[in-house]
Chains A and B, each alone.
Chain A
Amino acid sequence: MNRTGLAARIKTGILGVNITEQDVRSHIAAAKTYPFLAYAVDLSYLQLAKQLLRETDMLLTAAVSYPFGGMTSATKLDQIRFALSVEAEEINATLNLNAIKSGDYDTVSSELRAMVEVADGAIDVIVIPQFEILTSSEKLKTCETLLEAGVCAIKTDGHGGLCQPEDVRLVRRVFGDAFSIEASGGIRTVAQALELLDAGANFIHTSTALELLRDA
C-alpha cells in the first residue's frame, strides 16, 4: 500500500490537556497535505477545527466524554448536541466503562439508545469500548449491547490503550461485518497499521499519522 493509499484509511487529530490554539492550527495545516479521512479534536477546539477544515475532505470528529467515559449520560448528550450545532460529522464517545466493569449493561444500553436518538442520523456515532481494560466476555457482551442499541461503529481504544490485532480479529470473527472498526491506541508505525488493517480494521486512528507516514 502506498503512502496515499494508507493515508486514505487513516483518521487523525490532536487531543489532550496540553494543546494550544496554535498547536491545532499548525497540526491541521500539516494534516491537510494528506488525504486523511477524519480529524478529531477536543470540544474546546471544535469550532476552530470546523473553520480550519473547510475546503478539505476531512470529516470533523468531536471527542465526547473523552477519554475516560466518566461523564453522565446527560453530559454526553449535551456534548453531542454541541457537536451537532457545530456541524461535526462524527463523535468518538467513550462508553461508561465502570458500568461495563460492574456488569450493568442496562445502563450502557440506555445511554447508547439516548445517544443514537439525539444524533438522529445527523452525526455518526462511534464509541470507544477501551478494549485494553475489558475481558474477552466483556468485549463480546459490550459489542452485543452496541448492536442491539443500533450502534455499529467502534474505535477500539482511547487514551493510553494499545490496540491489539487479536481484538480486531475477535470482533470480526464473532460479528462478521456488523461493525465498522477503527483501530486506535498506540499505533506508531506503518507495520502496526498494516497488521491491524490486515486483521480486519476498516480504519486506523492515530494522532501521530504525520510521523507514521513520514516513515512509510
Chain B
Amino acid sequence: MTDSRRVALLRQIDHSELSTSATYGDVRRACLEALHYGFGAVVVHPIHCARAAHHLRGTGTSVAAVVGFPTGAFTIEGKAFEARNAIEQGAAEIDYVINVGALRGGLRDLVLEEMRTLRDVARGHIVKAILETSVLTDEEKRLACELAVDAGLDYVETSTGFASGGATVEDVRFLHEIVGDAVEVKASGAIPDVQTALAMIGAGASRFGTNAGVQIAQALASMSDDLGREEAG
C-alpha cells in the first residue's frame, strides 16, 4: 500500500467517542489521536462540540456532532434546534438519526421533510443521515436513500453502533447502488479492524465511523506494499 493511499484512507476515518462513561480527558485524547493519525473527523455528543472544536481548531480534522442520537425519535423541530446548537458550538458535520419509526410506519413525507430541514439548518456543513440499516427492510433502505438524494444530503450512514447490528458489506453496497454518485455512503458500527474497513471502502463507502481508529491506523502502517497491490488487483 502506498503512503498516499494510507493517508487517504486515514482521512476517511470518523473517529468516534460516544461512550456514556467518557470523560473530558477521553474526548481530548480522541482529538489528539485524530490529529496524530490524520483522521477526517472526530464524532462526539453535542455536549463535547465546543471542547472538541477547541482541540481541533485550525486543523484539517472536523468536529462531527451526533443529533437525535441514538433513537432518532425526536421531533423535526427538536433535531433542527440541536443541529443549529451543535454548529454554533463548532460542529462542521451533523450525523443525525432519521425518524426510523416514521420510515417503518410509512410516513415518507415526514422523513423527507426532516431531511430537508436538516439540510437547510446545516447549509454549508456536511449532513449525514443515519438510517440504522439493521432494523430496516431493503425497501425501507431504498426509500430512505431516494429521499436523501432528493433532499440533497451529503451522506447516508448505516448505523449508530447502538442498535441490533452495525454496517455490513451488503448494506453498504446496496445503499451505494441506490444513491449512486449523488450522495456518499458512510459505514459505521461494527468496524473493529482494518480488514473490515477496507471491505467497506471496497463496497462503496467513502467514510467509515469507528472507535477502533487507532488500531486501524497502526495496522495500516504495518501493511506491506504487496497487500496494496493485491487489493488493487
Contacts and interface: CB of A to CB of B under 8 A. Distances in A.
A133 B47 contact: no
B24 to A, nearest CB: 4
A99 B45 CA distance: 12
A162 interface: no
A23 interface: yes
Nearest to B160: A17
B75 A43 contact: yes
Interface in A14-34: 15-23
Nearest to A96: B47
B24 A98 contact: yes
B102 A44 contact: yes
Contacts of B71: 15-17, 42, 66-67
Interface in B33-59: 45-49
A154 B25 CA distance: 27
A145 B66 CA distance: 27
Q: How large is the interface on A (under 10, 10 to 19, 20 to 34, 35 or more residues)?
A: 35 or more
A179 B66 CA distance: 33
Contact of B82 (A19, A45, A75, A96): A75
A2 interface: no
Contact of A43 (B21, B24, B78): B78
Contacts of A133: 20-21
A23 B101 contact: yes
A74 B46 CA distance: 10
B108 to A, nearest CB: 13
A105 interface: no
Contact of B20 (A20, A43, A69, A78): A69
A72 B85 CA distance: 8
B75 A44 contact: yes
Given A97-B21, A133-B21, A71 B45 contact: yes
Nearest to A19: B101
Contacts of A18: 100-101, 104, 132, 135, 163
Contact of A71 (B27, B46, B100): B46
Given A45-B73, A66-B71, A133-B20, A20 B47 contact: no
Interface string B165-209: 000000000000000000000000000000000000000000000
A74 B85 contact: yes
> Interface centre among A19, A22, A96, by most B CB within 10 Å?
A19
A82 B73 CA distance: 14
Interface in B53-87: 66, 69-75, 77-78, 81-82, 85-86
Contacts of A22: 105
B223 interface: no
A98 B47 contact: yes
13 contacts: A17-B72, A18-B135, A19-B101, A21-B102, A42-B71, A44-B73, A44-B75, A69-B20, A70-B45, A70-B66, A79-B78, A98-B23, A98-B24
Interface of A: 15-23, 42-46, 66-72, 74-75, 78-79, 82, 96-99, 101-102, 104, 130, 133
Given A22-B105, A71-B47, 9 more contacts: A15-B71, A18-B100, A18-B104, A42-B71, A68-B18, A70-B18, A72-B47, A72-B86, A98-B23
